[in-house]
Structure 1
């Protein structure tokens, strides 16, 4: 659970990145390696992906972190993140990856979001990226942090940096999409970076 109690500290060294998504693995490596961690992805260890049965980003992040920590015997960090669109009542939300289908086609997912906005005749295209980062230890302790970044959606998508819905998202105060942005600049302001900042303050 997310709380403000003092937590056990995370020691530098091996840390399982509980994801099979290569885009997330890259971003987590960029965040973790400067701090002395050696992130190893769940995919590299052939760990099974648990079914995401949670109803919130936090629940799904905890579920994934716990499964990876218990299977590997090492602390694990999991990310559950997605796009929440105001005019769509927060959809796709925790189902953001599922909107991309079995083939994980995010061009298709972005088209679905844009089509849904057009169907709603939405005047506002405000949205936010949400990220819950959960750290779990093999003994079952977990702690979770949430970060968000506000912005709006553009169409057509722009830029081939980033992944997921990045190419249609312009953060508040910016003129270019996350897909057009240099990775380092995106990392400095993203939902994942905001959650990671809270995590490092509490655990490192």
Structure 2
């Protein structure tokens, strides 16, 4: 997602709440934003860290759709069907239009947010230092350039992997990182946290 001061990248494994967090941010809880991509984006660590969108669809589970009136109305109107994993896939442009936000091709990265799911407990937000940020980026299995592709990551040679980890450390040094454990008040906690990170980047 792109804010006026740069892109915010959400990290985390399957079921960590990345997509739901993205949709909360599209409602404007942290101010005006544009949608870059969901799940797949190119990350360029050379110089200022940049992110570039890939034209992918957004997979939505029924509980996530139920949280957002815009998605409920959209899926009801279009008669979209869930797949065998009970996900409904919509083009990113369709989701952006439903939330009345713009699409963006990418931009400089302002922050990484490591997402985790806490179920029925209050959400928790904490800033990460460089070491913790590097750990979060590594755990997200970020191969060279491409987010969220464990198969590509597994093909890295030992020498390539050392350089890869060095580049992730450089990303963590130059870009603010935080961890959001989502819960019952995720929109409030996430919105406040992202707003603080964006304000800091603006300074």
Give the alignment's TM-score, normalised by structure 2: 0.31
Name the structure with the higher strand share.
2
Give the alignment's TM-score, normalised by structure 1: 0.31
